């Protein structure tokens, strides 16, 4: 929902902190999660992520979450699904080129990043091309797997 998504950007600092706490908790639980099996946990975890992130950020469950680096604005809501900054069509009022009634997700990402403790730091990270096979999978578990150096 657009209103909640905009609220989340306005409260990016607090939500980013919650995000970091969740990451730390999952890192603590990682030995247990690894024992149970990431694959077995993937579906329920992806469902949980989808519920939480879907509500707050209109997450599209891409499986490779960038929220922490994009001012808590989900770039997958961009009609062109651009993950490394805006296209050249942002309107003068900040509206999206494709959906004028929507503010460009990258304008929102900028606004949100200004509220973080280290503004703009995340926006400077170059996001790799999205692997479409990750869609619908848990990005939290993927982050744990990557930490362990396992194959995606």
Which residues contact ligand SF4 by CB under 6 A?
A: 78-80, 82, 86-87, 89-90, 96-98, 104-106
- The nearer residue to ligand SF4, 65 or 105, going by C-beta atoms, is 105
Q: Secondary structure of the chain: what % helix, strand, coil (to 5)?
A: 55, 0, 45
Residues 6+ apart with CB under 8 A from 123: 69, 70, 71, 85, 109, 110, 113
* C-beta separation of 94 from 108 below 8 A: no
Neighbours of 148 (CB within 10 A): 9
- The nearer residue to ligand SF4, 59 or 138, going by C-beta atoms, is 59
- Compute the least distance from the CB of residue 141 to ligand SF4, in Å: 28
- Compute the least distance from the CB of residue 80 to ligand SF4, in Å: 4
- Compute the least distance from the CB of residue 49 to ligand SF4, in Å: 22
- The nearer residue to ligand SF4, 3 or 32, going by C-beta atoms, is 3
């Amino acid at each position: 929902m657009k209103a909640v998504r905009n609220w989340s950007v306005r409260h990016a600092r607090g939500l980013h902190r919650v995000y970091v706490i969740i990451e730390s908790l999952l890192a603590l639980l990682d030995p247990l999660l690894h024992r149970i099996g990431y694959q077995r946990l993937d579906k329920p975890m992806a469902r949980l992520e989808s519920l939480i992130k879907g509500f707050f950020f209109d997450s599209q469950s891409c499986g490779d979450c960038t929220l922490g680096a994009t001012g808590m604005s989900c770039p997958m809501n961009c009609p062109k699904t651009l993950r490394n900054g805006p296209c050249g069509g942002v309107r003068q009022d900040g509206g999206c080129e494709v959906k004028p009634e929507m503010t460009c997700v990258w304008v929102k990402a900028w606004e949100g990043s200004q509220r973080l403790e280290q503004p703009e730091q995340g926006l400077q990270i170059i996001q790799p091309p999205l692997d479409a096979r990750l869609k619908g999978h848990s990005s939290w578990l993927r982050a744990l797997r990557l930490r362990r150096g396992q194959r995606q």
